[in-house]
Amino acid sequence: MIQDTPVLIRRLPHAEGLDLPSYETEGSAGCDLRAAVDEDLVLQPGQRALVPTGLQIALAPGTEAQVRPRSGLSSKHGVTVINAPGTVDSDYRGELKVPLVNLGQETFTVTRGMRVAQMVIAPYLRALFEERNEPLPESLRGEGGFGSTGA
């Protein structure tokens, strides 16, 4: 089942001439985000940068956008999204940016229009917190975690 959701998008002057986020295949969950850099952006090993996309979006209420790494960039170059998955709130109207980091051992150059990350739109739930001053409902797992079930 594919559900489409409207996303208003606005291109800022520095994204002039760049393609909008694109789904590369019919079944792609993520649309690729392009770097709206005017000049090459060189990331030395260990260096990070907030890469502009030159785009603003307005998401439908109840939806978020997740900014995720591209597996090709991360597996071939060690370049990833440092806050992955980044969260774009439905009420955010600023420029979409991608906090990239070069965890590889070589210099990596971000060029204009390079597809540096992907964005997945997802519905979210908000918690209605109900504070309890008594033990929470019992469960099989209980307090076990962090490897409690074995390797």
Residues of this chain that interact with ligand DUT (CB under 6 A) are: 67, 83, 86-89, 92, 96-99
CB of 117 to ligand DUT, least distance (A): 8
Is 37 marked within a binding site? Answer: no
Is 75 marked within a binding site? Answer: no
CB of 20 to ligand DUT, least distance (A): 16
CB of 87 to ligand DUT, least distance (A): 5
Identify residue 38 by its one-letter amino acid code. Answer: D
Instruction: Between 87 and 111, name the residue whose CB sits nearer to ligand DUT.
Output: 87
DSSP the chain: ------EEEEE-GGGTTPPPPB-SSTT-SSEEEE---SS-EEE-TT-EEEEEEEEEEEEPTTEEEEEE--HHHHHHH-EEETTSSEEE-TT--SEEEEEEEE-SSS-EEE-TT-EEEEEEEEE---------SSPPPP-SSTT--SSTT--
Is 40 marked within a binding site? Answer: no
Instruction: Between 124 and 144, name the residue whose CB sits nearer to ligand DUT.
Output: 124
CB of 130 to ligand DUT, least distance (A): 24
**Token code pair at residue 113:** 């229009």
Is 74 marked within a binding site? Answer: no
Is 62 marked within a binding site? Answer: no
**Token code pair at residue 86:** 């980044």
Name the residue number minimizing CB distance to ligand DUT: 86
Binding residues: 70-72, 83, 87-89
Binding residues for substrate: 70-72, 83, 87-89
